[in-house]
Amino acid sequence: MVVSRFVVEGDPTPVWAVTQRGAGASLEELLEDYRDFLRIRDLRLWAKGSREALYVRGLGSTPDASYETYRTYVETRPPEVVANIVVCLIHQTNYLLDRQLRQLEQAFVEQGGLRERMTRAPERTRPATGAPSPKRPSRRKTRSSLLTRSGRGCSIVGLCSSSPRAR
C-alpha cells in the first residue's frame, strides 16, 4: 500500500527505499512490543553497552550467524533474557538495513536508476574498434505506414474518402 502511494503520486523515491523504510517501520513496531513486554512485567532492558548486550552483539558478528547461533540461549533462558536478545537482534537488523539503504542510495546517485543503466548498456556492448554500432530501424510511424495496404488513403474507417464508409 505504501509503495503504490509513492508510485501513483509520482514521488521520485525509488521503490527499494520505500520497501526498506517499510521493513524498518515493522521492526520498530516489534522493538516497541518487546520493550513493552519488559516494561509491563517490570523486567530490566539491557543498556546498549551492557555486558550481556555486547555478548549478543558479538554473537551476531560471527561468520554464518543463524538461528542456531542463538538457539541455546533462546530456548533455555528466562523470558527477560530472551526478550533482551530479540531487542539486540532488532537493533542489529536495523543497523544492517540502514547500511544497505545508504549503499543503495549511493549506487543510485553514482550509477543512476534502472532506466539510466539500461540506456548505458548498449554503449558497453559496442565494439572497441571505434566503429559505430549498427543503426536500429526506427519504430516511428512514417506517413507511408499510415496508408492502407493498397496504398490509398488512411486506415481509419469513416474519415478518409477511400474508406468503405466514406463512399
pLDDT in tens, the chain (167 residues): 233 333 333 444 444 344 445 565 788 899 999 999 999 999 999 999 999 999 999 998 888 888 899 998 999 999 999 999 999 999 999 898 889 989 888 888 887 777 777 777 776 666 666 666 666 666 665 555 555 555 555 555 555 555 455 44
pLDDT for the residue numbered 124: 65
Hey, where are the domains in the chain? Answer: 2-111
pLDDT for the residue numbered 6: 33
- Compute CA distances 1 → 7, 14, 20, 81, 133, whole Å: 10, 15, 14, 36, 43
pLDDT for the residue numbered 81: 94
Angle between helices 67-76 and 51-60 (to 10 degrees): 150
